[in-house]
């Protein structure tokens, strides 16, 4: 498919989702400014059900460089149907974008305190500058999620714990063998705050660790992660680190650092640096370092 045929679809999809988010959330009077507002954790922040609200950041990396493009993905399953016959000449610079939103579907149930959310995140990796391959989408990851959240109030190590909960998370890339990858997880999470700092802790049990598509995926991408966010004067810096919890042998994981800087209104310059395994599902067992620059519309805060 030619580039000019893909561009209208891409920008229409991005524009529709972003505009829905911005109209509901980026008005100065309603924009969430902390975890309590973002997750509606007390009566002053409640906004009702079935309203689109931010989940993860929305951004476009107009150029993302990889130190080690995954030209010939492979699965730890060595069955013939998971062997890629030959590699593809992928560029080490591509375009990456992420869309993400959530909505509350049940409010104040389970002893009058829990909220049930559904969420969706999509990450796309587009070889838009690769003329030789007709500019394909190298990988698209689809991530629906169901989240049960409980507001709490207690202190730990000087941080105010605001919420705890459990989620069921599914990820897949929608491809057939030998490129099919998927992951199902039950996730325990907690959210904490202190002044300009926000921290999310997650640990999960991977139901796909013995899946034929990608066995032992958690040994590469991790079984827990830590998201630390610092926000001040319009700047948002976040660090996400995942670890496979193998303390004795084969420690692996990933790290991602991002920084957004306000340009005008809701538009921000965006820098993202990552290192490790699993930037995408197809790369779950592939080690690389990436650096990307672009713009963002929605941040963690």
Q: What is the CATH number of the domain that holds 216?
A: 2.40.230.10
End-to-end Cα, the chain, rounded Å: 37
pLDDT digits (tens, 9 = 90+) for 155-204: 999 999 999 999 999 999 999 989 999 999 999 999 999 999 999 999 99
Q: What is the pTM of this model?
A: 0.88
Cα–chain center distance at 155: 27
The yes-or-no answer on residue 172 being catalytic is yes
Q: Mean pLDDT across the stretch 247-258?
A: 92
Both tokens of residue 22? 């911005």
The enclosing H or E element of 37 equals helix 35-39
**More confident of the two residues 86 and 152:** 152
Name the residue range of residue 227's domain.
3-298
pLDDT digits (tens, 9 = 90+) for 73-93: 988 887 777 778 888 999 999
pLDDT of 80 reads: 73
Of the candidates 74, 170, 235, 275, the residue annotated as catalytic is 170
Q: What is the pLDDT of residue 216?
A: 87
Q: Is the pLDDT of residue 19 over 80?
A: no
Going by C-alpha positions, the residue among 207, 209, 164 that lies closest to residue 188 is 164
CA distance 114 to 99: 26
| Number of structural domains found in the chain | 1
Residue of 100, 172, 238, 280 with catalytic role: 172
Q: Share the mean pLDDT of the chain.
A: 89
Contact assessment for residue 262 and residue 236, using Cβ atoms and an 8 Å cutoff: no
| pLDDT value at residue 20 | 46
């Amino acid at each position: 498919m030619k580039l000019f045929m893909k561009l209208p679809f891409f920008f229409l999809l991005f524009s529709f989702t972003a505009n829905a988010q911005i109209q509901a959330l980026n008005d100065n009077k309603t924009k969430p400014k902390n975890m309590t507002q973002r997750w509606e954790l007390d009566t002053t922040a409640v906004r009702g059900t079935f309203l689109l609200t931010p989940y993860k950041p929305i951004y476009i990396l107009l150029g993302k460089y990889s130190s080690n493009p995954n030209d010939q993905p492979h699965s730890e399953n060595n069955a013939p149907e998971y062997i890629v016959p030959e590699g593809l000449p992928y560029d080490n610079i591509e375009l990456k974008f992420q869309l993400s939103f959530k909505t509350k579907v049940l409010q104040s149930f389970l002893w009058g305190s829990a909220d049930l959310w559904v969420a969706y995140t999509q990450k796309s990796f587009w070889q838009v500058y690769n003329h030789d391959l007709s500019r394909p989408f190298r990988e698209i990851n689809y991530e629906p999620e169901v989240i049960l959240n409980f507001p709490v109030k207690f202190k730990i190590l000087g941080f105010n714990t605001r919420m705890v909960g459990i989620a069921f998370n599914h990820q897949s890339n929608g491809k057939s063998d030998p490129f099919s990858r998927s992951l199902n997880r039950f996730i325990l999470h907690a959210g904490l705050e202190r002044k300009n700092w926000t921290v999310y802790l997650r640990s999960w049990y991977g139901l796909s660790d013995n899946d034929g598509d990608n066995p032992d995926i958690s040994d590469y991408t991790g079984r827990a992660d830590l998201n630390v966010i610092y926000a001040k004067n319009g700047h948002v810096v976040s660090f996400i680190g995942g670890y496979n919890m193998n303390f004795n042998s084969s420690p692996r994981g990933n790290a991602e650092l991002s920084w957004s800087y306000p340009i005008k209104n809701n538009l921000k310059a965006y820098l993202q640096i990552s290192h490790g395994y699993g930037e995408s599902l197809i790369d779950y067992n592939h080690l690389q370092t990436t650096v990307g620059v672009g713009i963002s519309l929605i941040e963690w805060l």
